[in-house]
């Protein structure tokens, strides 16, 4: 990607902030499982775990200097530039309806206002209460090594997907997730919400491409990321088999399809996953 470094207008760096709390009863094994399921379940997974991850004393925070490696500085720089571009594009696409938001960088765990205490192992997420995106830069290492999706546009896609949820929140779409009583109904709705966020990420990608921000190979990077974090792939990796009813994000093919649809058309109206017969 082509971007200007040093733009952190929409970045809240809380990496130096430690949370002093009780020990969390999740072992390393549990954290790894959480990492694998991060994209499949997002913040929902945390709420399912309930008290196990909500424990701790989020009010006690310590603030120290932010320790950052050159690699992390570079990741932060890209994230900042992507956030600025995302906010500008969406303000342009949805004038008067889109409010710019921030990316909160954290390390290990964060107290997300309105979403409770979250571990970095649960992956990047959007908290509708705070209306902010949360990311531990360590996830990019995982994206590269565990999910085989390296590259700056793959990293940008991750943020663009979460901003897709912010767009849904602004448009009142996110609240539809509350509908549907049974678990499988909830999951079906969740898949449509997630695929729409992928499509919205693509819409941004379309405009980034028009603005000549993309390099050759960038599109492939994002598609690799979308493929790597489909529910079917994640489930196969973690449990060796696939249970379609439990999908909450959609299959790899679906994620790729909706991202491409947004990318090809650049139109919000093309992202209506809720009235689409075929996902």
- Taking the complex as a whole, the smallest distance from the CB of residue 205 to Zn ion amounts, in Å, to 16
d(CA 254, CA 222): 14
Nearer to Zn ion, 194 or 221 (CB): 194
Nearer to Zn ion, 75 or 193 (CB): 193
- Taking the complex as a whole, the smallest distance from the CB of residue 250 to Zn ion amounts, in Å, to 10
* Inter-residue contact 119 to 31 (CB < 8 Å): yes
Nearer to Zn ion, 197 or 213 (CB): 197
d(CA 150, CA 103): 20
- Taking the complex as a whole, the smallest distance from the CB of residue 60 to Zn ion amounts, in Å, to 30
- Of the candidates 83, 129, 86, 106, the one whose C-alpha atom is nearest the C-alpha of residue 15 is 106
Non-local (6+) Cβ contacts of 3 within 8 A are 77, 78, 81, 82, 85, 213
Interface with Zn ion by CB under 5 A: which residues? 194, 197
* DSSP output for 237-259: HHHSS--GGG-SS--HHHHHHHH
- Taking the complex as a whole, the smallest distance from the CB of residue 248 to Zn ion amounts, in Å, to 9
Q: What is the largest CA-CA distance in the chain?
A: 52
Nearer to Zn ion, 84 or 196 (CB): 196
* Inter-residue contact 186 to 180 (CB < 8 Å): yes
Nearer to Zn ion, 133 or 219 (CB): 133
Distances (CA, A) of 153 to 32, 103, 215: 25, 17, 9
Distances (CA, A) of 279 to 39, 204, 249, 260: 18, 20, 11, 13
- Taking the complex as a whole, the smallest distance from the CB of residue 95 to Zn ion amounts, in Å, to 25
- Taking the complex as a whole, the smallest distance from the CB of residue 261 to Zn ion amounts, in Å, to 16
Nearer to Zn ion, 19 or 228 (CB): 228
């Amino acid at each position: 990607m082509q971007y200007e470094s040093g733009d952190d207008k929409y970045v809240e760096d809380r990496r130096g902030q430690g949370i002093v709390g009780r020990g969390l009863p999740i072992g390393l094994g549990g954290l790894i499982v959480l990492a694998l399921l991060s994209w499949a379940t997002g913040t929902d997974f945390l709420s399912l775990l309930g008290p196990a991850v909500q424990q701790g004393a989020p009010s006690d925070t310590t603030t120290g200097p932010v320790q950052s490696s050159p690699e992390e500085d570079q990741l932060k720089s890209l994230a900042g530039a992507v956030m600025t571009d995302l906010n500008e594009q969406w303000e342009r696409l949805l004038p008067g309806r889109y409010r710019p938001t921030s990316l909160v960088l954290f390390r290990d765990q964060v107290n997300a206002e309105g979403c409770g205490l979250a571990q970095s192992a649960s992956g990047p997420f959007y908290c509708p209460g705070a209306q902010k995106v949360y990311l531990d830069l360590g996830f990019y290492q995982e994206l590269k090594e565990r999910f085989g999706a390296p590259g700056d546009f793959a990293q940008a896609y991750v943020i663009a997907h979460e901003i897709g949820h912010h767009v849904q929140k602004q448009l009142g779409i996110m609240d539809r997730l509350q509908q549907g009583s049974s678990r499988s109904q909830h999951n079906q709705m969740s898949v449509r919400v997630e695929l729409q966020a992928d499509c919205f990420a693509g819409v941004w990608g379309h405009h980034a491409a028009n603005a000549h921000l993309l390099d050759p190979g960038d599109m492939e990077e994002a598609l690799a990321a979308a493929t790597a974090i489909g529910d079917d792939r994640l489930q196969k990796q973690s449990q060796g088999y696939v249970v379609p009813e439990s999908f909450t994000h959609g299959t790899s093919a679906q994620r790729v399809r909706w991202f491409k649809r947004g990318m090809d058309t650049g139109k919000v109206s093309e992202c209506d996953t809720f009235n689409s017969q075929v996902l």
